[in-house]
């Protein structure tokens, strides 16, 4: 049955990908409402070859809406999410506003689709780094519980939005031209540089907000509060698609072949693991694709007990890390 769908934050980087995903995946739409701030009202975005006007987001925007896809920041979600639910919509929210709320399911369809049944009007879309890091690990966790994950992320500009992507392009151009470029979106020069993720640092623990999100969200999605997670999140000068290095320790011994065979059959992932050609997951190959690429699967030589595997993944932050995951949730609804 066709649905009335609203996109909140339609003009942002993820909002534009919502449109692409809905079209590509042939989501049954009766009416599409594009919602954004007053300054974006009146613009038009293409959908199925036709321009759709952007409307100003107001408290009356959700009358008659069945599903509302939010990607406009936590403040907007906290204010307008409950309003949308009261109007009769189910909200799929891409911000961090509701992720750790005990009454809000946090869903990766390949991992915990059944959690959708418990929703009370709002379903949270997880952090992009969490989705890309743990989706390939879930099928292993189901058969051989993962006790510890050691994660290092290499996060693209797309994770900080369209403005950060523009800053990377502009700063790179300036660098190559020998000109100065003062960063405006990110805290450090971006061209030919990398730095600790720009989320706020907890001065007591030394962990930034991105790292804390991945730890807490993984435990909630896996339904395992005891899984131990070590993580370092880094921003790298890549336009689109995050990459992640993961080493995980299982409860029972696990071989490289066992890990590869399980991952090869897992939904939402694709093996890219050619040792002979030194060809493994890369952001350029993951960009624009629906699958999370997985490779460099190998025994962790730092664990002589044979309980640990190392691997490398790459996934499109704007797609599986954001818009695509939300649309998959909408499909299940």
133, 153 Cβ separation under 8 angstroms: yes
C-alpha separations of 84 from 9, 14, 245 in Å: 14, 19, 38
Residue 128: active-site member:
yes
Residue 44: strand pairing partners:
53
Measured torsion, CA atoms of residues 93, 94, 98, 102, in degrees rounded to the nearest 10: 90
The catalytic position among 128, 141, 197, 233 is 128
Q: Which residue has the tokens 């009146």?
A: 42
CA distance 133 to 316: 12
Q: CB neighbours of 197 closer than 8 A, spacing ≥ 6?
A: 153, 155, 208, 210, 211, 233, 234, 235
For residue 242, indicate whether it is catalytic: yes
Assign 228 to helix, strand or coil: strand
Q: Which of 119, 141, 197, 242 is catalytic?
A: 242
Known catalytic residues? 128, 242
């Amino acid at each position: 049955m066709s649905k009335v769908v609203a996109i909140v934050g339609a003009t942002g980087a993820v909002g534009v990908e919502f449109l692409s995903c809905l079209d590509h995946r042939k989501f049954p739409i009766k009416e599409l409402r594009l919602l954004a701030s007053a300054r974006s009202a009146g613009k038009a975005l293409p959908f199925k070859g036709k321009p759709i006007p952007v409307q100003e987001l107001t408290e009356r925007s959700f009358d008659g809406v069945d599903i509302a896809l939010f990607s406009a920041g936590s403040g907007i979600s906290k204010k307008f999410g409950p309003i949308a639910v009261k109007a009769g919509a189910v909200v799929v929210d891409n911000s961090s506003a509701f992720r750790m709320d005990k009454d809000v399911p946090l869903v990766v369809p390949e991992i915990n689709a059944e959690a959708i049944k418990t929703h009370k009007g709002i379903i949270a879309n997880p952090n992009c780094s969490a989705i890309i890091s743990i989706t390939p690990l879930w099928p292993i966790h189901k058969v051989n519980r993962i006790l510890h994950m050691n994660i290092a992320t290499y996060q693209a500009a797309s994770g900080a939005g369209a403005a950060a992507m523009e800053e990377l392009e502009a700063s790179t151009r300036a660098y190559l031209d020998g000109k100065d470029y003062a960063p405006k979106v990110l805290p450090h020069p971006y061209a030919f540089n990398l730095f600790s993720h720009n989320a706020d640092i907890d001065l007591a623990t030394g962990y930034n907000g991105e790292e804390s999100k991945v730890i807490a969200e993984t435990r909630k999605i896996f339904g395992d509060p005891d899984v131990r997670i070590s993580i370092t999140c880094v921003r790298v000068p890549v336009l689109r698609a995050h990459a992640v290095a993961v080493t995980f320790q299982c409860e029972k011994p696990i071989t490289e072949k066992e890990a590869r065979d399980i991952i090869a059959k897992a939904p939402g992932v694709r093996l890219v693991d050619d040792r002979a050609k030194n060809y493994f997951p890369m952001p350029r190959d993951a960009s624009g694709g629906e699958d999370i690429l997985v490779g460099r699967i190998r025994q962790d030589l730092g664990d002589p007990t044979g309980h640990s595997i190392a691997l490398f993944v790459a996934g499109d932050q704007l797609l599986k890390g954001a818009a695509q995951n939300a649309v998959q949730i909408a499909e299940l609804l």
